[in-house]
Amino acid sequence: MLTITQALVDQIVAHARKDHPDEACGVVAGPAGSDRPERFIPMLNAAMSPTFYEFDSGDLLKLYREMDDRDEEPVIVYHSHTATEAYPSRTDISYANEPGAHYVLVSTADTDGLGDFQFRSYRIVEGEVTEEEVTVVEAY
């Protein structure tokens, strides 16, 4: 289960809407071993594509060094889908290399008739996708 603050949900959704029609991507870091997302880190989609996202390798290296210096880890790796539901694509699954992270997908397309976006979380380990419950709280 992913427990996340409303403020972080709002930041992730705002980033997805801002970068639309391209996919948005980023990380939410938290204290190592805590499973608590705290620090919102929007990243540039180096692919600048409406159907694919890619972290810039230099930005990603800088981010991992910074997280290491702060004793943090990527608790959430997020990106958006602009025309499909919030479910990992085959490409998303193949690039999922953080087995401890929650993979959050935001769809900016109303694919289910439930509103103007979907916010869903998954665990992706060795190609196996498992959707998990998302609990939104005001504070930890």
pTM given for the model: 0.94
User: Mean pLDDT throughout 89-101?
Assistant: 94
Residue ranges of the domains in the chain? 1-135
pLDDT for the residue 108: 85
CATH top-level class of 1-135: alpha beta
Give how far Cα 99 sits from Cα of 27, 83, 118, 123, Å. 14, 26, 23, 7
Per-residue model confidence as pLDDT tens digits over 41-94: 999 999 999 999 999 999 999 999 999 999 999 999 999 999 888 999 999 999
pLDDT for the residue 110: 63
CA distance 13 to 76: 14
CA distance 77 to 92: 11
Q: Reply yes or no on whether the pLDDT at 39 is more than 70.
A: yes
